Amino acid sequence: MARNNKREFEEQVALMEWFAIQYPREIVIVSANGGSRHFLEAANLKRSGVRRGVPDLFMPVVNDDYAGLFIELKPTIVAGKSNGRVTDEQFEVLSHLDSRGYKAQVCWGFEDASSTIKQYMLKR
């Protein structure tokens, strides 16, 4: 696993552990996108409906402003830099979701994502 992918994975694991403690009655749906796979597995996932650009996390909680929260998690920016990049497909899907009444946001690491979730949950 590349260093940047490992950092993103570790931050997502920490975020899911934190979320389970903070909001034990809520759920987060995790996308199967991302990572490198054997081409046959990737082809089968695509055939089954997996789509490029879908955010990493979905929290199906309605608040005062939105129908749910989607998060595209990128690794924490370290020393002003991150190798994580938002792809054109991700921008397109995030914009589509946003136009349909969801909050759809890119978060840079655990701190940004947990803060986004806290702010979102305050408006329930």
> Each residue's pLDDT tens digit in the chain (124 positions)?
666 678 899 999 999 999 999 999 999 999 977 666 778 887 787 888 888 899 999 999 999 999 999 999 999 876 556 668 899 999 999 999 999 999 999 999 999 999 999 999 999 9
Cα 111–Cα 117–Cα 51 angle in degrees, nearest 5: 95
Class of domain 3-122: alpha beta
Q: What is the DSSP letter of 107?
A: E
Q: What is the DSSP letter of 1?
A: -
Q: What is the pLDDT of residue 2?
A: 66
Place of tokens 């809520």: 26
Please state the separation of Cα 66 from the chain's center in Å: 16
Tokens of 97: 């979701």
pTM of the model: 0.89
Domain residue limits, the chain = 3-122
